[in-house]
Structure formats: structure tokens, C-alpha cells
């Protein structure tokens, strides 16, 4: 059985090959199974022990000098890899290595102005190599020590060496010269060789018959392309003002509603489509937003839609992407508040692109 150790949040070392056992906060002990579960239980306990409004004021914001978002709302949690809910409309990200999660927990302890010793964390170390059994009482050893513990391998005995004997040198007649590679004799060709028989020419392969259904489908595709080309110039893609195509997530505005995308499947199957948005916030709040689509290099590939919406309402907005996006597999829906600067967004939502015409006919 490994010895139980206690983690110091002000001096976090390596946690490789370790397993947490339990955590204790304000007299309450919680048994955990993994560092991610320990981080979630500790963050939930810290939130419940302090003022709720104080924590919610930092939702979708950083609580330290880094850009890491510790607490996120429902909209902000969509940018997290493994969000877990600790309260209504409040989430924490439980994704990361054991050392990184414990550093984030130490930042949360400083955020709530508590001592590092207020949370006790017990853990144990495990063997670092697969060759050690779980019940091995020895400590973790180096690979060199493990190799020395292996039983010696058997070695075949060498032939005996006869010393002080005269060397026997064969005479030249006894030496057999090496055989040279002699090509086998070839059979003589007959004087009158019979020519090979003439092969009959194969008849030409008839062209396959045209399928009327395929021709009708191709005609509809041609009409769709001509319709897209006749659209007015307002739907053409515009390059964003930001030259390096980098965006940042803006801080949440408590006086404005948040814009939520309402979709059954997070994918689009055509270049021209409509999306439904819902405003979430306190009753009577009004917000003005801009929405547009970006490619994988964060270049704008659609028209920019202006949205003015009141909390509790829904609105349908139409977008048209450029024809080159039919070959792509993913795009990003960018939403920004008009009061924010040009390179700040309130949400960046990935959407899959599944256009069947592009996959079948190469458009």
C-alpha cells in the first residue's frame, strides 16, 4: 500500500503516476476518483461557500492575469472542451492535466481570498512502469535497476581453442577453384519458325447509355449555380477589417441580452440558408449584434447581418456563403456586439458543411 501524501497548493510539483483519494474543505470530506473530479468538487464547494453575485460578476472573464476563463455562462461554456455545471447558468472547465487543474484551483483559492491550507487534498503515488505489480512494496525504481533485477540469459559455450599445434596448409592441387556461374545452354532455334497466329481485333466497347435521372439532376444543378451568380452584390463576401484575422472573446455585458443559436443539427447543407437566434436575458433588455461566417483561417466568407432583438424574442437571419466554401468541411458563425471593438466577439460557433452536390460533382 502506498503512503498517503498531501498536496500543497502553493508548491505544486509533478503529479505523474498519482491518484487523488479525497479532499476536505471546512470540515466536509469528499471522496473523489481522479483529478478532474477533484477539481470539479473543489470549485463547487468554493462557489457554495461564498457570495454568488461575486462569482457571477466574473462569468466569461478571467480571474487572474492569464486569459483562462474559470467561470462561464451557458453561452461561454460552448467554447469549453469539458464544461461541468456547478450552478444555474454557471460552468467550469474540467479539462486539463493534473498539474494544470491544480494550478487553476490555486488561482480560485486566491480569488476567494482564502489560505492555501483551507483545502486538504490527499493522494497516493503509483508505480511508474508496467513491469511493477500493484502490490509491489518497493518504491518506484529506475529502468536501469529493473534491468539489473532480471535473471541472466543463458549463453551457448564457445568451441575449444587448441593451442601449440602446427598449422596445416593444403597443397595447390588440393585447392578446388570456385565454380563460376555458367549460363545454361540455350536451345537452337529452328530455321523455319512458324509465325504466331493473328489475333482478331476486339470490337469497340459501346458507350454507356445516359441515365435521364442524372441528366435532370445536372440540369437542376446548373440552374442553381446560375441563380447564385445572379444574386446582388450585397451578398458577396467582405474581408474583415482585422488584417491578421484574429479575434478575441469580449467581456460579457450585464446590461444586454446574450444571443443564442437555435438549431437541431449544427450543420448546413447549402450555401444560402437561414439561422434562428434567440435573445436570453432580463425582460426588456435590447441588444444590437452583427453576425457573419468565417472559414478555417478566420476570413469572412458571407454577408454581414445586423440583428436588433429584445430579450425573449426569436429572429431568423439569412446568410449566403461564397461558392468556394462548398469544398470545405467546417465554417464558424461569429457574433459580435456592435458596442465592442472590431476584433472582439461574443460567440464563435463551429458549423459543419455537408453539401452533397460538391461531394458528388466537384463543384
- What are 102-111's pLDDT values in tens digits? 999 999 999 9
Closest Cα partner for 122 from 50, 44, 15?
15
The average pLDDT across 129-143 equals 44
Tens-digit pLDDT profile for residues 200-211: 666 676 666 778
Distance from C-alpha of 119 to C-alpha of 44, rounded to nearest angstrom: 13
Q: Of 14-18, 38-42, 190-194, 323-327, give the lowest mean pLDDT range.
A: 190-194
Q: Check residues 14 and 141 and name the one with the higher pLDDT.
A: 14
Comparing 156 with 239, the larger pLDDT belongs to 156
Q: SS3 sequence, the chain?
A: CCCEEECCCCCCCCCCCEEEEEEEECCEEEECCCHHHHHHHHHHHHHHCCCHHHHHCCCCEECCCCCCEEEECCCHHHHCCCEEEEECCEEEECCCCHHHHHHHHHHHHHHCCCCHHHEEEEEEECCCCCCCCCCCCCCCCCHHHHHHCCCCCCCCCCCCCCCCCCCCCCCHHHCCCCCCCCCCCCCCCCCCCCCCCCCCCCCCCCCCCCCHHHHHHHHHHHHHHHHHHCCCHHHCCCCCCCCCCCCEECCCCCCCCEEEEECCCCEECCCEEEEEEEEECCCCCEEEEEEEEECCCCCECECCEEEEEECCCEEEEEEEECHHHHHCCEEEEEEEECCCCCCEECEEEEEEECCHHHHHHCC
Output the pTM of the full model.
0.38
Give the Cα separation of 305 and 302 in Å (integer). 9
Residue 106's pLDDT is: 93
Mean pLDDT of the chain: 78
| Confidence (pLDDT) at 87 | 94
Task: Tell me the per-residue pLDDT of 229-280, one tens digit each, with 9 for 90 and over.
Answer: 665 544 444 433 333 456 777 777 778 888 888 887 788 888 999 999 988 8
Q: What percent of the chain has pLDDT over 70?
A: 70
pLDDT band at 34 (very low <50, low <70, confident <90, very high): very high
8 A C-beta contact, residue 336 and residue 345: yes
**Closest of 305, 306, 320 to residue 233, by C-alpha:** 320
Q: How far is CA 222 from CA 27, 195, 310, in A?
A: 72, 57, 41
Q: What is the pLDDT of residue 311?
A: 85
What does the pLDDT read at residue 245?
55
C-alpha cell at 314: 426569436
| Domains of the chain as residue ranges with CATH | 4-125 (no CATH), 235-361 (2.60.40.2550)
- Position 222 pLDDT exceeds 90: no
Looking at the DSSP bridge assignments, the partners of residue 143 are none
pLDDT for 129 equals 43
CB-count exposure of residue 260 (10 Å: 0-12, 13-18, 19+): middle
Residue 169 pLDDT grade (very low, low, confident, very high; cuts 50, 70, 90): low
Strand order in the sheet with 258-262: 258-262, 272-280, 314-320
Task: State how far the Cα of 35 lies from the Cα of 105, in Å rounded to an integer.
Answer: 11
Q: How confident is the model at residue 23 (pLDDT cuts 50, 70, 90)?
A: very high
pLDDT tens digit sequence for 284-306: 888 899 999 999 888 999 999 99
Max avg pLDDT among 65-79, 170-184, 195-209, 255-269: 65-79
Does 343 or 23 have the greater pLDDT score? 23
Determine the pLDDT at residue 343.
78
Res. 4: pLDDT tops 50: yes
Amino acid at each position: 500500500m502506498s503512503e498517503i501524501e498531501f498536496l500543497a497548493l502553493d508548491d505544486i510539483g509533478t503529479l505523474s503516476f498519482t491518484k487523488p483519494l479525497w479532499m476536505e474543505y471546512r470540515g466536509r470530506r469528499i471522496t473523489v476518483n481522479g483529478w478532474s473530479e477533484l477539481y470539479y468538487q473543489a470549485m463547487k464547494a468554493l462557489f457554495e461557500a461564498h457570495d454568488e453575485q461575486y462569482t457571477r460578476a466574473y462569468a466569461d472573464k478571467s480571474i487572474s492575469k492569464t486569459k483562462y476563463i474559470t467561470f462561464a455562462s451557458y453561452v461561454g461554456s460552448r467554447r469549453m472542451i469539458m464544461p461541468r455545471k456547478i450552478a444555474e447558468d454557471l460552468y467550469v472547465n474540467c479539462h486539463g492535466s493534473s498539474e494544470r487543474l491544480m494550478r487553476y484551483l490555486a488561482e480560485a483559492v486566491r480569488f476567494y481570498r482564502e489560505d492555501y491550507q483551507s483545502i486538504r487534498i490527499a493522494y497516493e503515488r503509483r508505480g511508474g512502469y508496467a513491469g511493477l505489480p500493484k502490490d509491489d512494496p518497493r518504491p518506484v525504481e529506475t529502468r536501469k535497476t529493473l534491468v539489473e533485477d532480471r535473471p541472466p540469459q543463458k549463453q551457448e559455450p564457445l568451441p575449444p581453442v587448441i593451442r601449440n599445434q602446427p598449422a596445416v596448409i593444403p597443397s595447390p592441387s588440393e585447392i578446388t577453384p570456385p565454380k563460376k556461374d555458367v549460363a545454361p545452354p540455350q536451345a537452337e532455334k529452328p530455321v523455319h519458325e512458324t509465325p504466331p497466329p493473328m489475333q482478331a481485333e476486339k470490337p469497340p466497347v459501346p458507350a454507356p447509355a445516359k441515365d435521364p435521372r442524372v441528366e435532370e439532376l445536372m440540369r437542376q444543378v446548373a440552374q442553381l449555380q446560375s441563380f447564385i451568380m445572379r444574386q446582388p452584390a450585397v451578398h458577396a463576401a467582405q474581408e474583415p477589417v482585422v488584417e491578421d484575422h484574429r479575434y478575441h472573446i469580449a467581456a460579457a455585458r450585464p446590461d444586454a441580452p446574450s444571443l443564442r443559436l437555435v438549431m437541431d443539427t449544427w450543420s448546413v447543407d447549402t450555401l444560402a440558408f437561414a439561422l434562428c437566434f434567440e435573445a436570453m436575458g432580463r425582460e426588456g433588455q435590447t441588444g444590437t449584434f452583427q453576425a457573419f461566417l468565417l472559414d478555417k483561417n478566420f476570413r469572412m466568407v458571407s454577408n454581414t447581418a445586423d440583428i436588433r432583438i429584445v430579450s425573449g424574442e426569436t429572429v431568423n437571419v439569412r446568410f449566403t456563403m461564397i461558392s468556394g466554401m462548398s469544398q470545405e468541411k467546417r465554417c464558424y458563425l461569429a457574433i459580435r456586439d456592435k458596442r465592442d471593438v472590431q476584433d472582439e466577439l461574443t460567440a464563435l460557433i463551429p458549423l459543419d458543411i455537408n453539401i452533397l452536390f460538391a461531394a458528388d460533382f466537384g463543384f
